[in-house]
Amino acid sequence: MFWYHEETKHSYASVRRHPNRLSWESQPNVFKQYPETFVRYTFDIDEAEDNFLYHIAGINAKKSYPGVEYYLRMNPSAGALYPNELYMQLRGIEGKPNGIYHYDVAASALTLLTQLEEGEGLEPYLGYREQMQGYLFLVSSVYWRSAWKYKNRAFRYCLLDAGHILGAIEAAALLKPHATMVRYDMDRASLNRLFGFEKREWFTAAAAVAVPMRGSSVTPVDFSLPYVEAAGTFESNETIERAYEESTVVNGCKRDVCAPHFSYRKEQLQEAICKRRSQREFSAEAITKGQFGYLMEILSQPILSDCEERVNVYVVVNRVLDMPIGLYRDGTYLKYGDFSHKAGYLCLEQYNLATQGALILFLTSSGENYQALYQKAGIIGHRLYIAAEYLGLGCSGIGAYYDDEVNTFLENDDMILYALAVGR
C-alpha–C-alpha distance, residues 146 and 144, integer Å: 5
The arithmetic mean of pLDDT across residues 298-306, rounded, is: 97
- DSSP conformation class of 316: E
Residue 1 pLDDT > 70, yes or no? no
Handedness of CA 401, 8, 305, 78 (dihedral sign): positive
How confident is the model at residue 70, as a pLDDT? 77
How confident is the model at residue 142, as a pLDDT? 98
The arithmetic mean of pLDDT across residues 344-355, rounded, is: 92
Residue 19 pLDDT > 80, yes or no? no
- Residue percentage of the chain with pLDDT more than 70: 99
For strands 120-121 and 219-220, give the pairing: parallel
The arithmetic mean of pLDDT across residues 169-194, rounded, is: 97
How confident is the model at residue 25, as a pLDDT? 78
CATH T-level assignment (fold) for domain 3-245: NADH Oxidase (3.40.109)
Report the range of poorest mean pLDDT among 183-187, 313-317, 329-333, 341-345.
329-333
The arithmetic mean of pLDDT across residues 257-269, rounded, is: 94
pTM higher than 0.85 for the full model? yes
CATH number of 266-423: 3.40.109.10
How confident is the model at residue 294, as a pLDDT? 97
Please write the tens of the pLDDT for every residue from 232-243. 999 999 999 999
Contact 390, 132 (CB under 8 A): no
Comparing 3-245 with 266-423, is the CATH topology the same? yes
How confident is the model at residue 257, as a pLDDT? 87
Average pLDDT over the chain, rounded to an integer: 95
How confident is the model at residue 67, as a pLDDT? 65
Edge-first strand order for the sheet with 312-317 is: 332-336, 326-329, 312-317, 359-365, 415-423, 394-398
Q: How many Cβ atoms are within 10 Å of 395's Cβ, its own excluded?
A: 27
Annotated domain spans of the chain: 3-245, 266-423
Task: Identify the three-state secondary structure at position 252.
Answer: coil
Please write the tens of the pLDDT for every residue from 49-83. 999 999 999 998 877 777 677 789 999 999 999 99
Please state at what angle helix 370-390 crosses helix 289-299, rounded to 10 degrees: 150
Residues 6+ apart with CB under 8 A from 231: 28, 29, 30, 32, 142, 144, 145, 200
